[in-house]
Amino acid sequence: MNKLIVIFLLTLSNLAFGQESHIESEILSVLCDENSDAYRLNTILTKDSISNGTRIIHFSTSATCCVDFRIKSTLIENIVKMELEEDGVECECICAYDFVVRFNSVFDSKTKFFVNKRELRTDLPKVRPYEKRYFVYENDTTGFDDENGLRQGYMVLTRKNDMKKIYWKDGKFIKLEILDKKGYNL
């Protein structure tokens, strides 16, 4: 009992004076989300819950494929800093991971979480949208790449004696037309 009181008082004094202290944390699960583009993934907090005196957070981030992870967590005031350490032989790719981490403390409701120096926010979409890109022929918009990177409409490619119209829908090729300079089928 005395040992618990000493630990409690040390933790309380560390928090009161803004000193960084190690906190107990454990990775409960790590899943590679193969449906998300790891290069466009935002590092975000997807779920935050309190259960039986522990805090469990779910977050998404990008990291090297084919490795195992260890976590080291520290607390200073209302900020939890997590460092993910990669262990093992890495592949030459990046994966979009979903992590579930448990802390043996509840923390303040205003606690902010950081992983590898990135704040876990809830106000961002999971994946950053692509910037729209438009295709124009003779001052008319004929097609575009949408926010998901999928091509829509058609593109016109001109050559000396003819032109090609390439049609797309939801990023899939639909048809190709080869026309003369006046727009008639060849």
166 vs 15, more confident: 166
Q: Are residues 71 and 102 in the same domain?
A: yes
* Predicted TM-score (pTM) of this structure: 0.66
Q: Which residues pair with 19 in a beta bridge?
A: none
128 lies in some domain: no
What domain count does the chain have?
Answer: 2
Q: Are residues 108 and 163 in the same domain?
A: no
Predicted local confidence at residue 149, as pLDDT: 85
Q: Which domain holds residue 144?
A: 133-180
96 lies in some domain: yes
Predicted local confidence at residue 84, as pLDDT: 94
185 lies in some domain: no
Please, are residues 65 and 42 in contact by the beta-carbon 8 Å criterion? no
Instruction: Give the whole-angstrom CA distance, residue 161 versus residue 183.
Output: 11
90 vs 166, more confident: 166
124 lies in some domain: no
* CA-closest candidate to residue 125, choices 42, 69, 8: 42
